[in-house]
Structure 1
C-alpha cells in the first residue's frame, strides 16, 4: 500500500516521502515560500525505478500545491519533464523561475 507523507523542515525546506508497505521508496525535496513551492529533487530507489513512483510523488506534490494555492517552480529535471509532457495536467500551477 502506498502512503505519502510530508515532512516539514526548517526555513521552508521540507520533503514528501513515498512509502510502500512501510518502506520508503522515494522522496521529493521542496522549498515553500509565500505562494511558491520549489520542487527541488526527486529520488526513487534503484530497484523501484520505472515503477511509476516518481509520477505518484509529482501528483501528490501538485495536489498539495493546489490545495494550498501555491504555484510550482519545477527545479527538478523529472518534475520539469512531467510538466512539459503534460501541460494540460500541470499548466495551471506552473510558475516560471
Structure 2
C-alpha cells in the first residue's frame, strides 16, 4: 500500500515522503513561502527506481500546490525535467521567473 505524508518543518522547509508497505521509498524537500513552493530535491531509493515513485511525489506536490494556490519553482532537476516533458500537465502550476 502506498501512502504520501507531508512533514512540515519549523523554518519553512518541509518534505513529502512516499511509503510503500510501511517503508519510506522516496522523499521530496520543498520550501514554502507566500504564493511559492520551491521543489528542492527528489530522492528515491536506488532499489526503488523505475517504479514511478518520483513521478508520484511530483504529482503529490503539484496537487498540494494547486489546493493551496501556490506556484512551483522546480529547483530539482527531476521536477524541472517532468515540467518540461509534460507542459500540458504542469504548465499551469510552474512559476515564471
TM category, shorter: over 0.9
How many residues matched? 97
Q: Which whole-Å CA distance do the structure 2 matches of 1:17 and 1:51 have between them?
A: 15
- CA distances 1:41-91 after superposition (whole Å, capped 9, x unpaired): 000001001110000000000000000000000000000000000000000
CA shift, 1:96, in A, is 2.9
The structure that is helix-richer by fraction is: 1
Partner of 2:43: 43
- Name the structure 1 match of 2:32: 32
TM-score normalised to the size of structure 1?
0.98
Gaps of 5+ in 2: none
Aligned residue for 1:6? 6
What TM-score does the superposition give when structure 2 sets the normalisation length?
0.98
Structure 1 Cα separation of the partners of residues 19 and 77 of structure 2: 22
